[in-house]
Amino acid sequence: MIQGKDLALILGSYLLGAIPFSYLIVRWRLGEDVRRLGSGNAGATNVLRTTGVMSGVSTLVLDVFKGALAVGIADLRGAPSAVVAICGLAAVFGHIFPVYLKFRGGKGVATAAGALGLLSPFPTLVAVGVFIVVVAPTRFVALASVSAAVSYPLTLTGASAAGWILSDRWLLGCTTAIAILIVFKHRDNLRRLREGTEPRLEKGVIEKGAP
């Protein structure tokens, strides 16, 4: 049964995940709202395209870190495994629906990578591999992100059935929910992919981006 202290950890994970690093960095660098630039997404890829490589990488690292930190704090506090998994989900939910930005956030991929990396590293490594394999030839970040997100619960299920890793229904449920959230947030990208209008990550984006 989830206790009061567990609820506090879950709420704290949401509030941590909701910290809008993309918004803060772009506001600091350009004085603009990242949601009014480029694709309008409050995420690392849009920051990279509109504000430059250093800002994009900083956003990526910080978004990954907050996901990992949410899970790490819950684990260090001795929370049950179910609560730790829920904290990971809460952090991703916070990034996607941040209270600080009237619930208009990013797509959750980097924060999910940080959270899932601590929850179960092996499926995370597989997901990273899937992302690289997809994005390298196509340069479609959205397609790579969705593919990686879907691969995580599938890998977790397979590896657990094979006895390679330990898993439980809470971990599988939360990671599946994260994958669903990420696919949902990429629904417009998937529509544009079908229509052939989805933009690719430019080869020269680093050179084109602002310093």
Between these two residues, 122 and 201, which has the higher pLDDT value?
122
Considering its fold, how many domains does the chain have in total?
1
Which phi and psi angles does 98 have, rounded to 5°?
Answer: -80, 130
> Can you list the alpha helix ranges (DSSP code H) found in 162-204?
169-185, 187-195
- Distance (Å, rounded) from C-alpha 20 to C-alpha 94? 9
Structural domain boundaries, residue 154: 4-208
Question: Helix 141-161 and helix 109-119: axis angle, to 10°?
Answer: 20
| Cα–Cα distance list, 24 to 18, 60, 114, 136, 154 (Å) | 12, 13, 19, 29, 35
For residue 208, count other CB atoms closer than 10 A to its CB.
12
User: pLDDT (tens digit, 9 = 90+) per residue, 22-69?
Assistant: 999 999 999 999 999 998 999 999 999 999 999 999 999 999 999 999
Calculate the dihedral angle through the C-alpha atoms of 122, 151, 73, 97, rounding to the nearest 10 degrees: 170
Q: Tokens 């990429």 belong to which residue?
A: 186
Percent of the chain's residues with pLDDT above 90: 89
